[in-house]
Structure 1
Amino acid sequence: MDYIHLRDMQFFGYHGVLKEETVLGQRFRASVSLAVDIQRAGQTDELDNTVSYVGVYDICKEIIEGTPFKLIEAVAESIATRILQQYEGAVFGCRVEVIKPDPPIPGHYKEVAVEIVRGTFS
């Protein structure tokens, strides 16, 4: 199994349960790993034999900067579902991490995040 990684993409969105999150918005980060077979792409040097990094980035941007969700779990699920649908047959599985670096939670911590794995990812 081969993998494509898009790490630490940064966006601004309005996801959250609290009113200030949906009104003021906040930063989000996302990382995506795709389980793929890219041997042919490595042999041919042809874009048609791999998954477009731009396409995956655009999916993440559209979802994170688009219609708000209450939960980052739903954001991650939406990203994974869209990637697996759009790249059916090319992507066998995906791991999606969505991070809120500055959620309005009292206390000391680095960030909060969810990570999901969908499809076949070994």
Structure 2
Amino acid sequence: MDYIHLNELEFYGYHGALPEETKLGQRFRVTVSLATNLAEAGKTDNLDKTVNYAEVYSVCQSIVEGEPVKLIETVAEKIATAVLAEFADKVTGVRVVLVKPDPPIPGHYASVSVDITRGHFR
């Protein structure tokens, strides 16, 4: 199994359970890892034999910058589902790490995040 990683994509969205989150919005960071077979791409240097990560970026962007939801778990699930559906011919599994760097909760911390894996991912 081979992997493509899109690391720390940053978007601005309006997801959250609190009213100020859906009104003011906030930054979200997404790391997406794709389980795939890169042997043919490596041998042939042919983009058609791999996953176009610019297209994966667009999928993530449309979801994070799209319709607001309450939970980051929902955002991550939507990304995983969309990636598996759109790239079903090449991607057998996906891991999504969604980071909310500035949630409106008191205390000192770097961020909060969810980490989900769907499909066949080793």
When the two structures are superposed, what TM-score results if normalisation uses the length of structure 1? 0.99
Gaps of 5+ in 2: none
| Corresponding residue for residue 31 of structure 1 | 31
Q: What does residue 99 of structure 2 align with? A: 99
Residue 76 of structure 1 is matched in structure 2 by: 76
Partner SS state of residue 73, structure 2: helix
Letter matched to residue 39 of structure 2: Q
1:79 to partner: Cα distance: 0.2
Equivalent in the alignment of 2:86: 86
Runs of 4+ residues deviating >6 angstroms: none
Which residue does 1:66 correspond to in 2?
A: 66
Identity %: 59
Structure 1: runs of 5 or more not aligned: none
Give me the TM-score of the superposition, normalised by structure 2. 0.99
Q: Which residue of 2 aligns with 1:55?
A: 55
Can you list the C-alpha shifts for 1:7-43, whole angstroms capped at 9, x where unaligned?
Answer: 0000000000000000000000000000000100011
Letter in 1 for 2:26: Q
Matched AA of 1:47: L
| Corresponding residue number in structure 1 for 2:112 | 112
Match of 1:11 in 2: 11
1:43-101: CA deviation from partner (whole Å, max 9, x where unpaired): 11011000010010000000000100100000000000000000112101000011000
Q: Number of aligned residue pairs: give it.
A: 122
Across the aligned residues of Structure 1 and Structure 2, the Cα RMSD in angstroms comes to 0.4
